[in-house]
Structure 1
Amino acid sequence: MKREMWLWLGVTALGAVAVLLAAGREWGAASDPAGAPALTPPALAALAGVVAVLAAKGLGRRIVGGLIALCGVITVIAAWGPFGTVWPYVAIGGGLLVLLGGIATVVRGVRWQAMSERYGRDRPRTEDGDRSMWDALDRGEDPTS
């Protein structure tokens, strides 16, 4: 499952980077010579969502995946328009990759590995192992001998 998670997160990040690349280019339309600046916020939100997927788990991961998919839909809608150059196609393709990554996160993300819970509060305390070494140090004993 770890490989699948990295694959879909990579697809999502690649799509967001493609949208950012297209957003900064001139599309050739007289009304919008600077490209499509409306594409930048959803692309940046999708990139932030990739990082949030790594930190979230369970329902939170599904919510983040839904927001990533929404960013993909917004990107495709915002990029749809005059097709004078290749950049609208790049933006739409990137938006579709972001959409697919978001859908995959919603559907499959619950099965993906979460961040380590080694230092979480819900970790059961044991009297052997690491804890016994610290207790020996508190008593002034050398636990390595």
Structure 2
Amino acid sequence: MSGGRAPDAAAAAGPRDPARAARRSLLVWLAACAAGGGLALLAAGRTWAAVTFSAQAGPLSAGRVSLSGGELVASLTPSVLAALAAAVAVLATRGIARRVIGAVISLCGLAAAAGAWSGTRAETIAGTAREHASTAMVPSGGAVAHSVTWAWPLAAVAGGLVLVAAGVVAAVAGGRWPGMSSRYDRPAGGGPARTPGRERAPRSERAMWDALDEGADPTIEPPRDRSS
């Protein structure tokens, strides 16, 4: 008895395993996108460099400017936000559109990573610091000395690279993932399944109101009593 039931249970669970694995893969992918984008956005708001200007009038005229990642790389935050928006769009698309969106995510992640790395160059830091010093009325007439907090730029680069990898995965393997619209798709026959040889019996208006009072869908026929 037990030996005959085991194959039946395995056959019933078999068709569900690929769909379950696809949903799990999609959830892991979404978590990776959120982690990579969140890391890059967190790093963009932190101080990356501190610049000190030594004015010619003496050390009392020296000025100091602190620069965040978003100030050094203006395109960092928009690139990450665009990648995250595209990641959400993956859920609502399929086929070629999903592959194209995956490529967009990779490009946005690449732009974020490349921009974060370029933001650590000395000329970029010095030029941005002079612009902020002139706006904040900080003395900036002498030599420039700067220090970089490397943890945050590297974190932004890592977050961008995670988005690049996520976009590649979506473009290559995203065709096996389910979409938000799949649960609303109509059956292959174009309508609700019906038992052969049976037509839907018309329901009275009173019966429909009673079904609404009970919280049921009045358009669904209740099961018939087979004992009669």
**Which residue, 103, 109, 120 being the options, matches 1:72?**
109
Partner Cα separation in structure 1 for residue 66 and residue 94 of structure 2:
41
2:48 paired with 1:27: yes
Q: Which moved more, 1:97-106 or 1:5-14?
A: 5-14
**1:101-142 deviation line (CA, Å, top 9, x unaligned):** 00000000011112243434786124627xx66x633x6585
Local SS of the residue matching 2:38: helix
Structure with a larger share of its residues in strand: 2
Matched, 1:18 2:83: no
Higher-Rg structure is 2
Greater mean deviation of Cα atoms: 112-121 or 102-111: 112-121
Separation of aligned partners in 1, 2:186 and 2:47 = 51
Question: Which residue of 98, 108, 124 corresponds with 2:173?
Answer: 108
Looking at structure 1, the residues matched to 66 and 93 of structure 2 have their Cα atoms a distance apart, in angstroms, of 38
Give the CA RMSD over aligned residues.
2.6
Would the aligned equivalents of 1:38 and 1:78 in 2 still touch at CA under 8 Å?
A: yes
**Identical pairs, percent:** 38
Counterpart secondary structure, 2:83:
helix
Structural mapping, 1:24-103, within 5 Å: 24-30=45-51, 33-36=67-70, 37-81=74-118, 82=120, 84-85=148-149, 86-103=151-168
- Equivalent residues of 2:92, 2:181 under 8 A apart: no
TM-score by length of 2: 0.55
Relative distance call for 1:29 and 1:63 in structure 2 (3 A) is farther
Structure 1, unaligned stretches of length 5 or more? Answer: none
Query: How many corresponding residue pairs?
Result: 141
CA distance in 2, matches of 1:128, 1:121: 13
Q: Name which of 121, 128, 134 aligns with 2:194.
A: 128
**Tell me, which stretches of 5 or more residues in structure 2 are unaligned?**
1-21, 52-64, 122-147, 208-220
**What CA distance in whole angstroms lies between the structure 2 residues aligned with 1:114 and 1:73?**
26
Cα distance in 1 for partners of 2:85, 2:27 equals 15
